[in-house]
Amino acid sequence: MQNVINTVKGKALGVAEYLTPILKESKFKRDGVLTPEEFVAAGDHLVHHCPTWRWAPGDAAKTKPYLPPEKQFLITKNVPCYRRCKQMEYRSEQELVLESEGDPDGGWVDTHHFSDSAILEEKVADMALEDKSSIQTPRTVPAVSSPGNSTSDG
């Protein structure tokens, strides 16, 4: 059943792509759509600044004539992630809506505003130093000289 759905969806997307004209003028600010030249320029910028991204030529049968043959699509590999997926699960209580005046969509949503790292940063910012009289001073350790570091106590 899924194969039938995928086949129909693929044919419908093919027809839509055939009927949709290639942009000649930028409509990015109005519609959020890139011209092929803007796509290549944005991709070059991304590849230059982010080493995990690179251009790929793709399958010769599916090459788009309006893009350079060696720049058919962008691919990223070996992206470092220092947190496990379970640690990044969506929780609605972590969200904070950031109001933006003049934005008809209602501003931005900071999805991890109240996350553990934000709470930790708040705790660190609120830390106060203890009274100096309650801090124990460490015992002094005699200096040890190394072969490359000569010291004279004389």
Beta carbons of 102 and 122 less than 8 angstroms apart:
no
> Torsion-angle region of residue 106: left (phi > 0), alpha (psi -120 to 50) or beta?
left
Question: Under DSSP, is residue 99 helix (H, G, I), strand (E, B) or coil?
Answer: coil
- 33/69 same-domain check: yes
For residues 72 and 25, state if they share a domain.
Answer: yes
Structure token digits, residue 118: 């934000």
Pairwise CA distance, residues 74 & 77, whole Å: 10
Pair 69, 104 in one domain = no
Flag whether pLDDT at 134 surpasses 60.
no
Same domain, yes or no: 71 and 109: no
Report pLDDT for 154.
47
| pLDDT per position as a tens digit, 111-125 | 766 666 655 566 566
pLDDT at residue 19 tops 80: yes
Let me know if residue 136 belongs to a domain: no
**What's the pTM value of the predicted model, to 2 decimals?**
0.50
Task: Please indicate, yes or no, whether residues 35 and 59 belong to a single structural domain of this protein.
Answer: yes
pLDDT tens per residue across span 63-118: 999 999 999 999 999 888 777 777 667 677 777 777 777 777 777 777 766 666 65
Ranges 17-21, 59-63, 105-109: which has the least confidence: 105-109
Q: Which domain holds residue 116?
A: 89-127
Number of domains in the chain: 2
Which residue, among 91, 95, 90, 58, has the nearest Cα to 74 in the 3D structure?
A: 58
Q: Are residues 51 and 19 in the same domain?
A: yes
Estimate to the nearest angstrom the gap between the alpha carbon of 79 and the chain centroid. 10
